[in-house]
Amino acid sequence: MLRFILSRLLQAIPVLLVVITVTFLLVRCAPGGPFSAEKAVPPEVVRALEAQYRLDQPIWQQYLSYLGDLAQGEFGPSFRYPGRSVNELIAGGLPITAELAFYAMLVAILIGVCAGVIAALRPNTPQDYLPMSAAMLGICMPSFLMGPLLVLVFGIWLEWLPVSGWGELAGDKVLPAITLGTGYAAYIARLSRGGMLEVMSQDYIRTARAKGLPERVVVLKHALRGGLIPVVAFLGPAFAGLLSGSFVVETIFQIPGLGRFYVQAAFNRDYTMILGTTVFFATLIVLFNLLADIIAVWINPKMRHQLSRSR
Amino acid sequence: MENPHSATLTQEQGSSLWRDGWIRLCKNHMALFGLGVMVFFCVIALLTPWIAPYGYEQQDLQLGASPPSAAHWLGTDIFGRDMLTRIMYGSRVSLLVGFVATGVALVIGVLWGTVAGYAGGRVDAVMMRLVDILYALPFMIFIVLLMVVFGRNILLLFLAIGAVEWLTMARIVRGQVQNLRHQEFIEAAFSMGLSRWIIIRRHLIPNTLGPVIVYTTLTIPNVMLLEAFLSFLGLGIQPPQSSWGLLISHGVESMEEYPWLLIFPGLALSITLFALNFLGDGLRDALDPRASKD
């Protein structure tokens, strides 16, 4: 197990290097220098700025010194807002985005697993069709449509919940979390239904029933663990999706999180900011994929067995 | 998974595999409904320049934003432009992006997967390792980055989305080809002196078609969603061009006063995604009976 984790960690390094290199080159290839939009700036100011941001060095030297900065946990300065750095914005935005993602994940897993298991218990009956149709609806209703519609109905027409903000008014976290979570709830419902259906037809479930265990114990104690393996495998990609989903949700609800900063940086063409944030996001996503892989092996005895046998 | 016996079937029986699939599809009412909706939307999109009730840029500033009426079935936006017309023109871009980007993914994915699966050995290991590495990259963020750096160009959008979506296709095709490669009919073809390229083109690729069609149908809604997502953020299609994502994003700005500007483009997008997903699920059940429905 330890060797598996270590080898996976080692595999993550080339991936991260590719991400950093490609992002760095892309940002450097961008047409128009970072200062070209500004009005006529005296050449000495330009030179001073270029020196400050190391633009006067050859590109490989810039690349190497950026790698050095990254190794020390420095993601870089912001072009647009002198004095602010990517690290500061991450420090300010990350806790908010993490909280949003956590609530959204909670919504997704609670609703998704319940709906999936309920549907799998009686396949091809209304008890199956109803939650699965709702899940299909959730998949076909992207967050940028779901969010505004929720705001329209619950925020503006019914006036039950605040329409924007984060942690200012009571209940203002409800709509963003639901908006971000429902799409994933739908996927998780489909995955857990599929997983449960497969597990419920296995011999060990028949054995558990033959022992005279009540159905509740059979489902919750014996079937659920195996049935949720596809869901766990989905958590890594889901996390990446949550991050990009936060771009939209934080923009709609005006939440000062990382996603909104990223979209703003994209609009302002704040290249160093984009570079730093992209590298940070990529690292997070690679780490979470790793974590999801490890959990998948850990809860699946078959894979654990294969792992120890292949050694 | 392709039926392994299809290899030994004669021509007439071979075509009955597809007929079987069609019969199974016809029994699935939701899938047929999805197919019907998609055909309808595609025909409308193709004919839009001739059948649209108003001109694309035709404004009626005096009318302004008006709710649905007999003259404007889906209402008008703040410039008095007919929403039905704008949604019809938007469907052209949305569907075009969906089909073209999926086409890009299809070509790259099928070729990559076939070559890797057929070559096997070290070539296969290197090619699939590359796919693994690309898989781990946060592509959503890369697309945003590409759109920022190289401007919001529709051609680039096709390429960028296509470049993301080919990975799964490559994996599926490679698995198929690996299964097929050692079967007798491929050996027979080889012993008859057919060249590798002909074997790949005539024998391997056609036999992977079932799963490929299924996955293609399920990729189109993903691609359309991606385009709408980017357009919503203002990083995709740029005005004066229009797509459903862009219409939704404009609709959000004034949804409090004029909710129909949000609801109708949203409905158009949702119905399309719904139809494509049902069609894809139906095709999977029809062409790929052994695959489980998740």
pLDDT tens for chain B, residues 1 to 294: 444 444 444 444 555 667 777 887 888 788 888 899 999 999 988 888 888 777 777 777 777 777 777 777 777 877 778 888 888 888 888 888 888 889 988 999 988 988 888 887 888 888 887 887 777 666 777 777 777 777 767 787 788 788 778 888 888 888 888 888 778 888 888 888 888 888 888 888 777 887 888 888 888 888 888 888 888 888 777 777 788 888 888 888 888 788 888 888 889 999 998 888 888 888 877 776 554 443
Residue B48 near residue B89, CB atoms below 8 Å: yes
Interface membership of A140 toward B (CB under 8 Å): yes
Residue of B136, B251, B273 lying closest to A289 (CB–CB): B136
Whether B262 and A149 lie within 8 Å, measured CB to CB: yes
Interface membership of B266 toward A (CB under 8 Å): yes
Interface membership of B136 toward A (CB under 8 Å): yes
Whether B294 and A194 lie within 8 Å, measured CB to CB: yes
| Pair of tokens at residue B277 | 């997903």
pLDDT band for position A11 (cuts 50, 70, 90): confident
DSSP-derived secondary structure letter, A163: S
Interface membership of A269 toward B (CB under 8 Å): yes
CATH fold for domain A89-309: MetI-like fold (1.10.3720)
Q: Where do the domains of chain A lie?
A: 89-309
Interface membership of A256 toward B (CB under 8 Å): no
**How far does the CA of residue A91 sit from the closest CA of chain B (Å)?**
20
Whether B145 and A149 lie within 8 Å, measured CB to CB: no
Whether B138 and A136 lie within 8 Å, measured CB to CB: no
Interface membership of B251 toward A (CB under 8 Å): yes
Three-state secondary structure of B70-118: CCCCCCECCCCCEHHHHHHHHHHHHHHHHHHHHHHHHHHHHHHHHHHHH
Contacts of B58 (CB under 8 A, 6+ apart): B81, B82, B85
Whether A23 and B145 lie within 8 Å, measured CB to CB: yes
Chain B residues near residue A286 by CB distance under 8 angstroms: 136, 138
- Tell whether the torsion through CA atoms of A220, A185, B139 and B218 is positive or negative: positive
Would you say residue B272 lies in a domain? yes
Cα A1 to Cα A286, A294, B136, B294: the distances in Å are 19, 9, 21, 29
The whole-number pLDDT of residue A1 equals 72
The whole-number pLDDT of residue A149 equals 87
Whether A27 and B266 lie within 8 Å, measured CB to CB: no
Identity of the residue numbered B67: P
Q: Which residue of B has its CA nearest to A266?
A: B148
Whether B136 and A12 lie within 8 Å, measured CB to CB: yes
Statement: the pTM of the whole predicted model exceeds 0.80: no
> Helix, strand, or coil here: A169?
coil
| Residue pLDDT, tens place only, A46-62 | 677 667 666 667 777 77
Q: Which residue of A has its CA nearest to B273?
A: A140
Whether B233 and A30 lie within 8 Å, measured CB to CB: no
| Residue pLDDT, tens place only, A95-135 | 888 889 999 999 999 999 998 888 888 877 888 888 888 88
Of A70-74, A260-264, B86-90, the one with minimum mean pLDDT is A70-74
Range of the domain at B269: 30-47+81-286
Cα B78 to Cα B104, B105, B233, B253, B260: the distances in Å are 37, 38, 21, 11, 11
Residue B89 near residue B45, CB atoms below 8 Å: no
- Tell whether the torsion through CA atoms of B28, B31, B37 and B38 is positive or negative: negative
Name the region of B199 (left: φ>0; alpha: ψ -120 to 50; beta: rest): alpha
Choose among A143, A73, A74: nearest CA to A108. Answer: A143
Chain A residues near residue B234 by CB distance under 8 angstroms: 267
Say yes or no to pLDDT of A91 above 70. yes
Whether A141 and B270 lie within 8 Å, measured CB to CB: yes
Interface membership of A153 toward B (CB under 8 Å): no
Interface membership of A190 toward B (CB under 8 Å): yes
Residue of B148, B151, B255 lying closest to A148 (CB–CB): B255
Residue B8 near residue B270, CB atoms below 8 Å: no
> Helix, strand, or coil here: A72?
coil
Within A148-241, strands assigned E span none
Interface membership of A94 toward B (CB under 8 Å): no
Residue of A142, A148, A251 lying closest to B225 (CB–CB): A142
Chain B residues near residue A243 by CB distance under 8 angstroms: 138, 140-141
Name residue A57's beta-bridge partners: none
Chain B residues near residue A194 by CB distance under 8 angstroms: 292-294
Whether B274 and A152 lie within 8 Å, measured CB to CB: no
Residue bearing the bigger pLDDT, A186 or A48: A186
Q: Which residue of A has its CA nearest to B138?
A: A282
* Total domain count, chain B: 1
Residue A86 near residue A276, CB atoms below 8 Å: yes
Interface membership of A252 toward B (CB under 8 Å): yes
Whether B233 and A22 lie within 8 Å, measured CB to CB: no
Would you say residue B293 lies in a domain? no
Whether B274 and A282 lie within 8 Å, measured CB to CB: no
Whether A190 and B292 lie within 8 Å, measured CB to CB: no
What CATH number corresponds to the domain at position B282? Answer: 1.10.3720.10
Residue of A137, A190, A244 lying closest to B294 (CB–CB): A190
What integer is the mean pLDDT of A63-87? 76
Chain A residues near residue B266 by CB distance under 8 angstroms: 145, 149
Whether A19 and B273 lie within 8 Å, measured CB to CB: no
**How far does the CA of residue B293 sit from the closest CA of chain A (Å)?**
6
> Helix, strand, or coil here: A32?
coil
Complex ipTM, two decimals?
A: 0.74
Whether B144 and A266 lie within 8 Å, measured CB to CB: yes
